[in-house]
Structure 1
Amino acid sequence: MKVQPFFILSLIVWSLLSSCEQNATPKIYPSKKGVDSAYADLLKIKKVEEKVRDDQMQSKTQVAKVNTQPKKTVAPLPTVDKIVPFSQDNTRDTLKITYAKAKQTVIKKPGQTNTFVFNSDTAKKVAIKLSAADTLANIRINHIKGPVDSIKGGPFGKTLIFDLPAKGNYNFSVSEKPTIKTPYQGEYQVELQLLWK
């Protein structure tokens, strides 16, 4: 007699535990007929909104076509700072690096660009500095280009610290800033230092 209530109690506990093992989130499968009729109204509203948006875009493009006039080409403003292309009398010097430093004195003609080449096999950065007797001299680092075409930068000022992501030969050019009308003529110094930090 005592076994029967125990058996019934264990049967009830087992049924409760087995019912708890069911997934809390029911699985939903797509309907074979398509969208449920309860959501059909929402789809209609969305289609109407898309059509209104398309109509508005078409009317804007039509208005834009009517209002377009031939554009006049405007010459670039002289206040825009840009990379100066190499001059015909461009000079090209290789900087000789000793103990991670190089220093060279250069004489520059007005409108002339000067290009310098240096090798960086192990350095992670380079510091470049231009200096002249005239502190207001119109010279600057025009651009720097690395061994891979994707490594480029410029224009810069008279000082620069540039990351060297690849090993190989880098070159940089020095020129006048095109926004200043007076070209520089005279002597200046280029100082370069390779950095590992």
Structure 2
Amino acid sequence: MEGTSEILEQAIEQLAKLPGTGRKSARRIALYLLKQDESSVMELGEALVNLKKEITRCTNCGVISDGDPCSICSSVKHQTGKVCVVEESQDVFLIEKTNEFHGRYHVLGGVISPLDNIGPDDVRIKQLMERINDEEENIEEVILALNPDSEGEATAYYINKLLKPFDDIKVTRIAYGIPMGTELEFIDEATLGRAFASRNTF
């Protein structure tokens, strides 16, 4: 486009590839960065390069980490015989913020989705079973904390089926229900149904 900077347009094009960022937002970010001093922009660039180059995944649980094993797998506090199975690393970060769970994690790196040609071998289910069979892990409970959509349900069902022969391992799932402060009239049928199915003694 005549009268515009080709370098600016290249930056906008790259920023627009970020999730939830259209060209308008990308242009605003690029112009904001242009106004910042060079050291701030260089620090951002260095942080992004390090994000790709330096960060790793824990070979044990699969969570994004600075080291291997990760701080959770290395922590004495988290050695409780419980393993929480989640879809992605961001789920681990959310659960850790609650300070309610003190076990270990297993990140699948996705869920079974036949429509997307993603089968059990494409996610870290095999690695989970290796951990189950590892006596040093001493796993007593597997908690399924997958998203309550069709793919999450299919994956949870598949894992539960694999764990059926292990009589000494309890398989549980996190409860799904009504968020605090929400009125019933605004709850969808599926969520309300889950709330009834997961009800507890008062």
Q: TM-score range by the shorter chain?
A: under 0.3
**Larger Rg, first or second structure (1 or 2):** 1
Higher relative contact order (CA 8 A, sep 6+): 1
Query: TM-score if structure 1 supplies the norm length?
Result: 0.23
The structure with the largest strand share of the pair is 1
The structure with the largest helix share of the pair is 2
